[in-house]
Structure 1
Amino acid sequence: MRITRVLGTALLALGLAAGPAAADSSPSPSASADGAAPTRAGTSFRTATELQQGQSATASASTGDYLYWSFPADTGQRPTVKATVKLPAAHGSQTWQLDVYDGLRRRQACQYGAATRTAEQGEPSVELACVLRTVRGWSEPWANDPLPGTYYARLTVVDLGSADLGKPVGVEVRADSKDIGGAAAVDGSLAKPLVPGIAAKSEDSGSGSKKAVLSSFGSDDGWSSGWWSDRWVWTAIGGLLAALAGIGGYALTRGSGRPSRVPPTM
């Protein structure tokens, strides 16, 4: 009975400990519906249009333009960028490409998805996707690991006939992410997330003139603080289960406490 009570208490503690971990592993919330979706795209890193995760942006452009958007990604997230290009009714074969860069403007490899696709003659649209590696809290200076901060999505056509150059196209881009949690945690963190560059917005400096400001994603608020992750919860759970296994093994092997055979008397 005592062992049963111990096991019951341990299972209750296990459920309470796993609760925060399950909450942390839920997908990131979508962008607020109060903010209007962007309807344009930037033409360079410096003028990239800001895009929140879970938010779709649209833009009208000409075939051959370089289109840029930026979005935030935090530690433990696995970002996914999707783009749909609506092509004109009459067009030849053309190849589109979606590239994603981190805050240091290093091109990040796609772990999954078709980031380069060809639309054959007459196809109405082409869809592209890029699933990045999980964002790490810290990395070696020589590594190309994704780090928390601003990410840039660039969309452009890389192969087409000269007759299609300059034709109007419609574009829709969306950035999402999956929260991987403590499975991707590392022992270290950046002092500040990588939020470089100048955003395509301005604020009043107080003197009536306008001045450029940093990206409004916020380099001080809303980012992971560093050492805590749900892997601490699972480490504690592992230690608890090991202790229970030791208690159970001892209870099963210690016997009744009396010798199994009484020695003969002299």
Structure 2
Amino acid sequence: MGITRVLTGALLALGIAAAPAAADSTPSPSASEDGQAPTRAGTSFRTATEIEQEQQATASGSTGDYLYWSFPADAGQRPNVRATVKLPQTHTAETWQLDVYDGLRRRQSCQYGAQTRTAAEGTASVELACILRTVRSWSEPWANDPLPGTYYIRLTVVNLADSDLGQPVNAEVHVDSKGIGGSAAVDGSLAEPLVPGAAVKAEAESGSGSGSGSDEDTSSKSAVLSSLEPDDGWSSGWWSDRWVWTAVGGALAALAGVGGYALTRGSGRPTRVPPNV
């Protein structure tokens, strides 16, 4: 009976530990259901068009332009950025490139995907892709690891004949992410995500209690340049499935200890009974 109660308690604890992981794995509704997808792109980091993940953004431009979009990415996600450029009917060979930058405007390397491609003469379209490294909740200051916050997409042509300069093109951009989980989790988290305007907002909030400055100054300082964030907020790595595996390991260790004790303690009676004298 004692062993049965221990086993039941261990399995109950294991079920409780696994419940948050099941809740966390529930997919969130697509951001495209909330509104229309953007139909234009920015021309710089400051004017980048904000898009949600799972949205199909489109834009019209000219060859030689720089097209910018921005999207939020949280810890544990591996963003997948894809772009399609529809070219004019007549053109010479031209090379297009897709670059992704983090909230500090550091160019992030692509783990997979064709970041640069050359469209041969007369090609109708060219497709680019960039799968980033997994976003980490914390990193060393000297490292170039992806961190939670706003990410920028820049699409442009890097090799173009003068005769094709200024020809009209259409671009499509789509961003989604794969949840990696505890295999990429690290200890530590950022105080704030790398979102443009976050530092200015924090400074304005800290100075609001002193009573100095007018309401107009406070409202202008608290303006945030990026309004998008993940549907469930910035988790910053507070949860990972490493907790579940830690609980599983602890439960298995407890079961092994109980089983070993049951096997080695014996029946409690001596193996040989001395003869009566």
TM over 0.5: yes
Q: Does 1:127 align with 2:127?
A: yes
Aligned pair in 2 of structure 1 residues 126, 197: CA closer, same or farther (>3 Å)? farther
Which has the higher mean CA deviation after the structures are superposed, 183-192 or 99-108?
183-192
Confirm or deny: 8 A CA contact 1:29 1:54 kept in the other structure: no
Aligned pair in 2 of structure 1 residues 176, 161: CA closer, same or farther (>3 Å)? same
Confirm or deny: 8 A CA contact 1:60 1:168 kept in the other structure: yes
Equivalent position to 1:247, from 245, 254, 258: 258
The amino acid across from 2:194 in the alignment is: L
Equivalent position to 2:245, from 234, 238, 258: 234
Query: How do residues 144-183 of structure 1 correspond to structure 2 at under 5 angstroms?
Result: 144-183=144-183
Aligned pair in 2 of structure 1 residues 146, 41: CA closer, same or farther (>3 Å)? same
> Which one has the bigger helix percentage?
2
Confirm or deny: 8 A CA contact 1:25 1:180 kept in the other structure: no
CA drift at 1:125: 1.2
Query: How do residues 1-266 of structure 1 correspond to structure 2 at under 5 angstroms?
Result: 2-4=2-4, 6-27=6-27, 29-196=29-196, 213-217=224-228, 222-224=233-235, 227-263=238-274
Which has the higher mean CA deviation after the structures are superposed, 38-47 or 122-131?
122-131
TM-score, length-normalised on structure 2?
0.83
Q: Please list the CA deviations of residues 85-122 of structure 1 after superposition, one character each: whole Å capped at 9, or x if unmatched.
A: 11112222221111000000000011111111122222
Which has the higher mean CA deviation after the structures are superposed, 43-52 or 116-125?
116-125
The amino acid across from 2:22 in the alignment is: A
Secondary structure of residue in 2 paired with 1:23: helix
CA drift at 1:32: 4.4
Secondary structure of residue in 2 paired with 1:177: strand
Secondary structure of residue in 2 paired with 1:111: strand
The amino acid across from 1:255 in the alignment is: G
Secondary structure of residue in 2 paired with 1:126: strand
CA drift at 1:168: 1.1
Q: Please list the CA deviations of residues 126-173 of structure 1 after superposition, one character each: whole Å capped at 9, or x if unmatched.
A: 111111111111111100011111100001111132222211111100
What is the Cα-based RMSD across aligned positions, in Å? 2.6
The amino acid across from 1:44 in the alignment is: S
Number of aligned residues: 256
Secondary structure of residue in 2 paired with 1:242: helix
CA drift at 1:4: 4.6
Gaps of 5+ in 2: 199-214
Aligned pair in 2 of structure 1 residues 197, 42: CA closer, same or farther (>3 Å)? farther
Confirm or deny: 8 A CA contact 1:61 1:168 kept in the other structure: yes
CA drift at 1:24: 2.2
The amino acid across from 2:90 in the alignment is: A
Secondary structure of residue in 1 paired with 2:100: strand
Which has the higher mean CA deviation after the structures are superposed, 5-14 or 41-50?
5-14
TM-score, length-normalised on structure 1?
0.86
CA distance in 1, matches of 2:28, 2:114: 23
CA drift at 1:213: 4.7
Secondary structure of residue in 1 paired with 2:112: coil
